[in-house]
């Protein structure tokens, strides 16, 4: 039996995905037969992404109903598809009567080991690209996925410290439930302010819908888990 989903709430995704069992991968195109060495399974099909993003857009429209303009500050690279779809859904709901949407982009590089370790204490984050002229703006920060949280925390801190914003809210598509986070990571994730969250996902390597695994699979319209051994051995 398929899982009954309330799209107006944060959706918890199991190890087996939203279908509750391993889906028939033949339904999701020929890439699986060609790349079985890299791909495990689809955990969030396209239909669920669309419905949850629609619900997030409805919530955002309610919160910004008296706002004339929103700056969607998108964290590169992974959040660009999510931000685009979210912006279009906001327009689909309120049309030209709603807030004017402007897109800006921010990019951060996280230095440290490329492979995440469960007890990793921290990583250094450097901002490579950030928008200008955000003073007095209502900023909605868009992130694809929160793993350990270092990148999002530093970006939030930087925007609040250096920009005289009218407001700052954060919208995240996916948040990982980590199996063995270090004390530092637990404390950091507890400090993170996430105003809008799409899905909670298990502690697996994922790709699709703008998110990459070694630059693979960003273009896919769904979210899948990848075979971690393949990418570990590739390093």
Q: Domains (ranges, CATH) in the chain?
A: 44-234 (3.40.50.2020)
Sign of CA pseudo-dihedral 200, 46, 16, 8: positive
The residues that are catalytic are 147
DSSP H helical segments within 78-179, as ranges? 80-94, 150-162
pTM of the model: 0.89
The confidence score (pLDDT) of residue 161 equals: 87
Which residues, at least 6 apart from 211, have a Cβ–Cβ distance to it below 8 Å? 78, 144, 145, 174, 217, 218, 223
Q: What is the per-residue pLDDT across 173-218, written as a single tens digit (0 to 9) for each?
A: 999 999 989 898 999 898 999 999 999 999 999 999 999 998 899 9
Helix crossing, 46-63 with 80-94: angle to 10°?
A: 60
Alpha helices in 95-194 (DSSP H): 150-162, 183-191
Asked if 208 and 217 touch (Cβ cutoff 8 Å), the reply is yes
The 10s digit of each residue's pLDDT in 154-166 is 999 989 987 799 9
Low-confidence ranges of the chain (pLDDT < 50): 1, 112-113
Burial of residue 131, with CB atoms counted within 10 A of its CB: 0-12 exposed, 13-18 middle, 19 or more buried = middle
Quick one: tokens of 123?
């990583």
- Across the beta sheet with 206-207, what order do the strands follow? 39-44, 223-226, 206-207
């Amino acid at each position: 039996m398929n899982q009954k989903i309330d799209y107006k709430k944060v959706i918890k995704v199991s190890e087996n995905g939203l279908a509750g069992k391993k889906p028939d991968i033949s339904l999701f195109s020929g890439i699986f037969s060609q790349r079985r060495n890299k791909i495990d399974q689809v955990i969030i099909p396209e239909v669920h992404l669309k419905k949850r993003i629609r619900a997030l857009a409805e919530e955002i429209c309610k919160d910004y109903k008296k706002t004339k303009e929103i700056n969607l500050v998108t964290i590169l690279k992974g959040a660009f598809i999510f931000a685009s779809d979210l912006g279009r859904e906001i327009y689909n709901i309120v049309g030209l009567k709603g807030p004017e949407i402007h897109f800006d982009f921010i990019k951060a590089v996280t230095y440290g080991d490329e492979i995440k370790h469960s007890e990793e204490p921290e990583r250094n984050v450097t901002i490579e690209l950030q928008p200008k002229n955000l003073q007095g703006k209502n900023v909605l920060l868009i992130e694809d996925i929160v793993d350990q949280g270092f990148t999002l925390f530093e970006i939030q801190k930087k925007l609040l410290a250096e920009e005289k914003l009218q407001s700052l809210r954060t919208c995240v598509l996916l948040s990982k439930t980590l199996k063995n986070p270090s004390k530092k990571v637990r404390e950091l994730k507890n400090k993170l302010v996430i105003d809008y969250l799409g899905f909670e996902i298990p502690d697996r390597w994922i790709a699709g819908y703008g998110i990459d695994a070694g630059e693979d699979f960003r273009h896919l319209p769904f979210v899948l888990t990848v075979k971690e051994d393949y990418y570990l051995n590739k390093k």
